[in-house]
A and B are shown apart, each in its own frame.
Chain A
């Protein structure tokens, strides 16, 4: 029994929504833990109590976010089993290891040390508490590492081979799995993006205090450290974004073609579409603003390498579909007669394209009798939604550069010790808080929508991965997730807001300079 297209779509929506909700919490946990470690390092080195207050205050916000992040993350692993049963069966041998390690090593490490970090301020020495804080930071980053190793496998399968007798992918090299270049770049890109988000968060909350002239000393120090932290993290994100693009040209060319709205293979070096309105139906850009040469140079790091366009990629997909058909037919024979050596040989000869035959099965259940029109339809499906991927990618990039510009100004103003007087900039810092959240979500939309129509790129199509639930079940569970996760978001905002309004727990007058401020400042300083 096969899942209907509506069930597949609803399963995708459900996973996408839960992931996007979950990822509203995750990057702050990852980034804030590292920033708190830097703040506490200053406390241990200088002995200044205000840095202890800073670490404790931001640690409180970290804890609220961490707790809700865990709550929203648990359901996703269950969804693999409930909504993606064939996917779980197919890749379980590969996927299980990183997810188990994530749970056992990283998450337990993080959770154990979070308790010590929060309750150990008066029980541990400075050095020991700093060690605990670093362990929390390491644990939160390692959690991301194992998830992204699993995701890296889905984007660029490496270290596994399809067993034709069990119809499962089997792990052939654990080293290839964890050192997968896609997982590497994705991990560093994601963690650096999380640092950026945490930096904007700290800048925004600090700006809020500065605008209200509360906890000024704490806020100014936090603003300074977050600005520098964000500046270098932004540079890292952009560098790794470039590395990801460079790698994807060879690994996932359809994603690159969609990201750049490139329908035809241009003469190298290809141009860069700054703005475009692509139409998937007409397979062309209705309007575009392009810069010559830049796209090719950025993506290939060369002047003479072309970037394949959609039409060329569809032609390649057609060839791979025809090459995958004998593999699928051999697989069917092996299922009936496991000792059929001829079928095994045929399978091994064509197995690299078997995923394309699986894809064709959606349109031609008997692939041996597939018509050219059905092959054509499957080939067109190998290209992800160009408008969605193009805009998700471009908005992500534009927002990323906006944040880099923000951090340049924030660092400059803070080093000049003038950020406090630039109230317009403090207001901007506050309003900018929404931007990194949008950016990280757009990043995931680019990565996951760009991988379609595959769950495991080139091997397992999405349509084959889903469970065979009823539509009513999917709608009911989807509505339940949206309702529950919205409650989580409301709780997060409520708790965060309350903690921020309460502010850091400093003794009155000590490092909280509200009372100590000169009268001209209390009346509102101007630039």
Chain B
């Protein structure tokens, strides 16, 4: 492992620690703000997953010779 890689990992690790500390503080002082941060990120990820799933379903339907618009 090179020094630059090590520094990059250390940087990501520090960022993760900072995020955890922020989450701990926010969840203690402001549980609903914390819920909003987590909930909105989750909703975005699930929505993005639903979009990606559409692509997969359309591809599979196309592979089976079905009309993708049906």
| CB atoms of B52 and A38 under 8 A apart | no
Q: Report if B39 contacts A (CB, 8 A).
A: yes
A138 nearest CB neighbor, chain B only: B40
Q: Report if B19 contacts A (CB, 8 A).
A: no
The interface bits of chain A over 41-74 (1 if a CB of B lies within 8 angstroms of the residue's CB, else 0) are 1100110100100000000000000000000000
| CB atoms of B36 and A188 under 8 A apart | yes
| CB atoms of A224 and B54 under 8 A apart | yes
CA distance A269 to B64 in the complex (A): 58
Interface positions, chain A 218-273, Cβ under 8 Å from B, are 220-221, 224-225, 227-229, 232-233, 236, 240, 243
CA distance A179 to B28 in the complex (A): 10
Determine how close the nearest CB of chain A comes to the CB of B15; give it in whole angstroms. 16
Select the residue from B29, B39, B42, B67 with max chain A CB neighbours within 10 A.
Answer: B39
CA distance A48 to B46 in the complex (A): 18
Q: Report if B1 contacts A (CB, 8 A).
A: no
Q: Report if A513 contacts B (CB, 8 A).
A: yes
Residues of the B chain whose Cβ atoms lie less than 8 Å from the Cβ of A233: 43
| In-complex Cβ contact of B36 among A41, A187, A517, A525 (8 A) | A187
Interface positions, chain B 21-70, Cβ under 8 Å from A, are 29-33, 35-36, 39-40, 42-48, 50-55, 57, 61, 67, 69-70
| CB atoms of A225 and B33 under 8 A apart | no
State the majority secondary structure of interface residues on A: helix
CA distance A195 to B46 in the complex (A): 14
Determine how close the nearest CB of chain B comes to the CB of A408; give it in whole angstroms. 14
Residues of the A chain whose Cβ atoms lie less than 8 Å from the Cβ of B40: 34, 141, 191
B66 nearest CB neighbor, chain A only: A417
CA distance A185 to B54 in the complex (A): 34
Given known pairs A38-B51, A42-B51, the reply for A420 and B69 (CB within 8 Å) is yes
Given known pairs A229-B47, A233-B43, the reply for A188 and B35 (CB within 8 Å) is yes
Residues of the A chain whose Cβ atoms lie less than 8 Å from the Cβ of B30: 178-179, 184
| CB atoms of A38 and B54 under 8 A apart | no
Q: Report if A421 contacts B (CB, 8 A).
A: yes
Determine how close the nearest CB of chain A comes to the CB of B4; give it in whole angstroms. 21
Determine how close the nearest CB of chain B comes to the CB of A120; give it in whole angstroms. 20
| In-complex Cβ contact of B47 among A225, A421, A513 (8 A) | A225
B57 nearest CB neighbor, chain A only: A417
The interface bits of chain A over 13-28 (1 if a CB of B lies within 8 angstroms of the residue's CB, else 0) are 0000000000000000
State the majority secondary structure of interface residues on B: helix
Determine how close the nearest CB of chain A comes to the CB of B46; give it in whole angstroms. 6
Given known pairs A42-B52, A184-B32, the reply for A228 and B46 (CB within 8 Å) is yes
By size class, the interface of chain B is 20 to 34
| In-complex Cβ contact of B51 among A51, A181, A185, A240 (8 A) | A51
Given known pairs A34-B44, A224-B54, the reply for A240 and B69 (CB within 8 Å) is no
Residues of the B chain whose Cβ atoms lie less than 8 Å from the Cβ of A518: 67, 69
| CB atoms of B51 and A188 under 8 A apart | no
| CB atoms of B32 and A187 under 8 A apart | yes
B49 nearest CB neighbor, chain A only: A228
CA distance A417 to B32 in the complex (A): 35
Q: Report if A35 contacts B (CB, 8 A).
A: yes
| CB atoms of A224 and B50 under 8 A apart | yes
| CB atoms of B69 and A521 under 8 A apart | yes
| CB atoms of A46 and B70 under 8 A apart | no
Residues of the A chain whose Cβ atoms lie less than 8 Å from the Cβ of B39: 188, 192, 232, 236
Residues of the B chain whose Cβ atoms lie less than 8 Å from the Cβ of A192: 39
Residues of the A chain whose Cβ atoms lie less than 8 Å from the Cβ of B46: 228-229, 232
| CB atoms of B43 and A236 under 8 A apart | yes
Q: Report if A37 contacts B (CB, 8 A).
A: yes
Determine how close the nearest CB of chain A comes to the CB of B34; give it in whole angstroms. 9
| CB atoms of A232 and B32 under 8 A apart | no
| CB atoms of B31 and A184 under 8 A apart | yes
| CB atoms of A232 and B43 under 8 A apart | yes
Determine how close the nearest CB of chain B comes to the CB of A212; give it in whole angstroms. 14
| CB atoms of B55 and A181 under 8 A apart | no
Residues of the B chain whose Cβ atoms lie less than 8 Å from the Cβ of A188: 32-33, 35-36, 39
Determine how close the nearest CB of chain B comes to the CB of A166; give it in whole angstroms. 30
Determine how close the nearest CB of chain A comes to the CB of B45; give it in whole angstroms. 8
Q: Report if A354 contacts B (CB, 8 A).
A: no
CA distance A191 to B55 in the complex (A): 29
CA distance A415 to B49 in the complex (A): 12
Select the residue from B51, B54, B55 with max chain A CB neighbours within 10 A.
Answer: B51
Residues of the A chain whose Cβ atoms lie less than 8 Å from the Cβ of B55: 46, 48
CA distance A141 to B41 in the complex (A): 13
Select the residue from B44, B45, B47, B52 with max chain A CB neighbours within 10 A.
Answer: B47
Residues of the B chain whose Cβ atoms lie less than 8 Å from the Cβ of A184: 30-33
| CB atoms of B32 and A243 under 8 A apart | yes
CA distance A39 to B31 in the complex (A): 28
| CB atoms of A38 and B48 under 8 A apart | yes
| In-complex Cβ contact of A221 among B29, B31, B43, B51 (8 A) | B51
CA distance A420 to B48 in the complex (A): 20
Listed from nearest, the 3 A-B pairs whose CB atoms lie closest are A184-B32, A42-B51, A38-B47
Cross-chain pairs A/B with CB under 8 angstroms, 19 sampled = A34-B40, A35-B47, A45-B52, A46-B52, A179-B29, A188-B32, A188-B36, A188-B39, A191-B40, A195-B43, A224-B50, A224-B53, A225-B47, A227-B50, A232-B39, A232-B43, A232-B47, A420-B69, A518-B69
9 A-B pairs besides A188-B36, A191-B36 with CB distance below 8 A are A38-B44, A175-B29, A184-B31, A185-B32, A187-B33, A195-B43, A221-B54, A224-B54, A229-B46
